[in-house]
Structure 1
Amino acid sequence: MTYALSTIWFERQRFLPAVLAVSFSAVLIAVQAGLMIGLVSMMSVPVDRTRADVWVGYPGVRSVDLGRPIPARWTSRIEAQPEVERVEPCTIGFSLWTNVSTRDAPATPEVITVVGSRLEPDSLGACEFLHNDPTLMAKLTEPFTVAVDESDLGRLGIRGVGGQAEAFGRRVRVVGIVRGYQSLGGPYVFCSNETARAMLREPPGGVTYLLAKCRPGTDPEVVVKRLEKYSQLTAFTADDLSARSRKYWLFTTKAGIAVGFTALLGLLVGAVVTSQTLYAATAASQREFATLRAMGIPRWRLKMTVVEQSLWVGIFGVILALPLSILLASAAESLGTQVRLHPLVLLASAAITLVMALASGLAALRSFQGVDPAHNIR
């Protein structure tokens, strides 16, 4: 065991606040980053959990939920591409939900995100939950029937299946509940294309997106680049539109900036506490360091000991932060909030925390100004 590590062990009460500060910073960075990724990923759900390879919409679409109507007749332009196997419409947009199933419903309408798709076993626009529940998919083929996520029942003012509401004057009925489709904006409401057009008051012959499935072994990027010659539309691969939607909600809506600022604040607090704790521990050990100097140990070796101590403090803090981050993420998800602790997020938070701990150790070296062999005979 090295001198630095043994010092931490025998003086653990002195170094424990530094370890806890580092752990707090690592937990805050990891959870905040996972929360940010989870929140913005909610807005790309209509893309991520469908089977389309290419999405075609109105020029300048910034997010999947911000599409505008395009003519359905443009289907022929997409079907003309040799890589395309089939094309189908999809209707996505905002509407107003007014609950009429209970007397205690809120008077203020709720903004919802309507997602209409073709409801067949091979549908490109239907979410995976509907593909896994053919009975619910069949129910949604009935006019003015919808499905909502169970986490949004309270926001929509309904108790479950059988609830009724009005959307722009159209009476709709809830016939099913889906799970895992929370939304950062308006709650997702899934239905058929026909019901969606009525709820959104779309003009006849218009759709929001045209979805294409490419033949096996072909590259969707080729189709997207070839469709660029049509200035009236914009084509995206599913991955591109998903990333575009997340970036819009991350940077344009300032949601990511707020979360990032909170994580930065935690990092600064952890850095200050760690630096001051290491400084106090080093200052308290001046007599021991002075003895080592009198024994001929060079000053640079003693400084390296302090830096090594800061590294071990960072390592212990990260080890403690890992299970705490997973526990907090699980608790947040049980409350209906998605926290995605991707391995890269955990690695990045650990690396940032270790760098912060090392920087704190370097800042604590200023206490060496008073280390002198004569210190022990004063």
Structure 2
Amino acid sequence: MVRSHRKIVQTLEILDRLVAFPTVSADTNLPLINFIRSYLTGCGFECRLLADETGRKASLFATIGPNTGNGIILSGHTDVVPVAGQDWSTNPFALVQDNDRVVGRGTTDMKGFLAAALASAARVSQASLSRPLHLAFSYDEEIGCVGIRPLLEDLAARNFKAALCIVGEPTSMQIVTGHKGKVSARAHCQGASGHSSMAPNYLNAIHLACDFIGKMRARQRDLEDSGARDSDYDIPYTTIHAGVIGGGKTLNIVADKAFVDFEIRNVAQDDPGRILDQLRDDAQATADIMRPSFPAAHIEIEVLNSYPGLLVQETDPVLSSVTRLAETGATAKVSFGTEAGLYASLLEIPTVVLGPGSMAQGHIPNEFITLEQLAKCDAMMDRLIASLCET
């Protein structure tokens, strides 16, 4: 039985503690991060906290082993998505075992990996390391990879180097070598207000927003028909998606303001900045059509958040090292974004995504991870520790 294995029991004990901290992105993660800091300090790690400007959240960076630049980073986020409105059969913040799986918010995304990494910390403290192990735990990944940026900027300022970073998002222990980049933006649409009984005399900002959405859809068709493609993705081309539209105050007033929140998810072969410039041109053209009759007509695009994609070439020598750790040569690309692209772009550290569980079980009621996946991750951690001891 997997449950009787010593290391999986330790991982489960830690996972039980981690799930009990309700680290929804809107709330503080300090109780959890202070628990981790205390735990790692007891294992001999040097720990640094980087608090956000509110003082309610913090990232943690911990190191053990010799001061060299060829160590390995295990990276994960501490926040989870909300449970409000979901139909859970158990308390989402209490770990419950159900046969060959454990249920609780964050078990898959991604406290299962954090628990395995922390369990390995106790073992690595007894090892004779030739290279360092680094643990990096961030906040607010779920709302756009927010918390990892100050941590990486701090490391860059310290001229930090490492041989490899493993971001432990759930990949069913497959090596993920790529994910799309993302830009989230808002189109602010300005019209001219008046009484709805005389609607043609005014410019409805909601209509203006819909005209812009039509332009976005045309760009999407072009990307689908003739844009760059990467067949490793389920959707092999860059996508543009309008997710939220709003405007107006009451039915009998022509809306003078409206907005459209949209995103670009780009394959590595596409430049999201170029696509954004094209959409800005489309916004300008949409407003220009109306401006002779309505001088106030205007559409301005504001970028709300962005993160780069990840692309590890098949010939990259780092893959042979990761293959030995994971004991699999299978690689894949995923549709969801991660912090891995930021490690690769901001620190120029070879980075892959590799962790236990499946994203199909993340973000849903009764989120779970199987004991088999945790055991596979624990076994990988043992191989990783052994590799850090090689001379």
TM norm structure 1: 0.22
Relative to its length, the structure with more strand (as a share) is: 2
Task: Identify which of structures 1 and 2 has the higher relative contact order when contacts are C-alpha pairs closer than 8 Å and 6+ apart.
Answer: 1
TM norm structure 2: 0.21
Relative to its length, the structure with more helix (as a share) is: 1
